[in-house]
Amino acid sequence: MHDLVITGGTIVDGTGQPSFTGDVAVANGRISGVGKDLGAARRTIKSDGLVVTPGWVDVHTHYDGQAVWDPLLAPSLWHGVTTVVMGNCGVGFAPVHPSRREYLMAMMESVEDIPRQSLAAGINWQWETFPEYLDALAKFPRTLDVGTQVPHAVLRLYVMGERGANNEPATAEDIERMATITRGAIEAGALGFSTSRTMVHGTPEGVPIAGTFAGEDELLGIARGIAQAGRGLMEVVTDAVGGKNIEREFGWMQRAAAAGCPITFLLTQANISPQVWRDLLQRCDSSTRGGAPIIPQVFARPVTILFSFQGEHPFQYMPSYAPLKDLPHAEKMRALRDPELRRKLLVEKDPTRAGISVLYRQASTWERTFPMGASLNYFPDPQNNIAAIAARRGCTPLETVYDLLLEDDGYAFLMYTVAGYADGNRDALYEMLTHPLTVMGGSDSGAHMRFICDGSAQTFMLTNWVRDNAKGDRYHLPIEFVVKKQSQDTARLFGMQDRGTLEVGMKADLNLIDLNALQITTPAMINDLPAGMPRLMQTAQGYAATIVSGEIIQENGVATDARPGKVVRGDERPVRS
- Residue 359's pLDDT band, with cuts at 50, 70 and 90, is confident
Q: Give residue 576's pLDDT.
A: 36
Share of the chain above pLDDT 90, in %: 93
> What are the pLDDT digits (tens) for 54-89?
999 999 999 999 999 999 999 999 999 999 999 999
Residue 574 pLDDT class (50, 70, 90 cuts): low
Domain spans in the chain, listed from the N-terminal domain onward: 309-417
- The mean pLDDT value for 454-465 works out to 97
The DSSP secondary-structure symbol of 85 reads: E
Task: Report pLDDT for 572.
Answer: 60
Whether the per-residue pLDDT at 470 is higher than 80: the answer is no
Q: What is the mean pLDDT of residues 6-30?
A: 98
Q: How confident is the model at residue 358 (pLDDT cuts 50, 70, 90)?
A: confident
Q: How many CB atoms lie within 10 A of CB 383?
A: 10
Q: At 110, which helix (H) or strand (E)?
A: helix 101-112
pLDDT digits (tens, 9 = 90+) for 281-314: 999 999 999 999 999 999 999 999 999 999 999 9
Phi-psi region of 299 (alpha: psi -120 to 50; beta: other; left: phi over 0): beta
- Pairing of β 535-537 and β 524-526: antiparallel
Angle at 134 between CA 299 and CA 203, to 5 degrees: 55
pLDDT at 206: 87
Quickly state the pLDDT bin for 571 (edges 50, 70, 90): low
pLDDT of 515-541, one tens digit each?
999 999 999 999 999 999 999 999 999
Beta strand pairing call for 81-85 and 145-147: parallel
Q: 158-171, pLDDT tens digit by residue? A: 999 999 999 999 99
Q: What is the mean pLDDT of the chain?
A: 95
Reported pTM = 0.96
Average pLDDT value for residue range 143-167? 98
Which whole number is the average pLDDT over 377-405?
97
**pLDDT for the residue numbered 577:** 32
- The angle subtended at Cα 429 by Cα 427 and Cα 435, nearest 5°, is 100
* Amino acid 165: pLDDT: 96
Q: pLDDT tens digit string along 434-457?
A: 999 999 998 999 999 989 999 999
Q: In whole angstroms, what is the distance from residue 433 CA to residue 477 CA?
A: 9
**Angle separating helix axes 172-188 and 152-160, nearest 10 degrees:** 130
Taking 80 as the threshold, does the pLDDT of residue 204 lie above it? yes
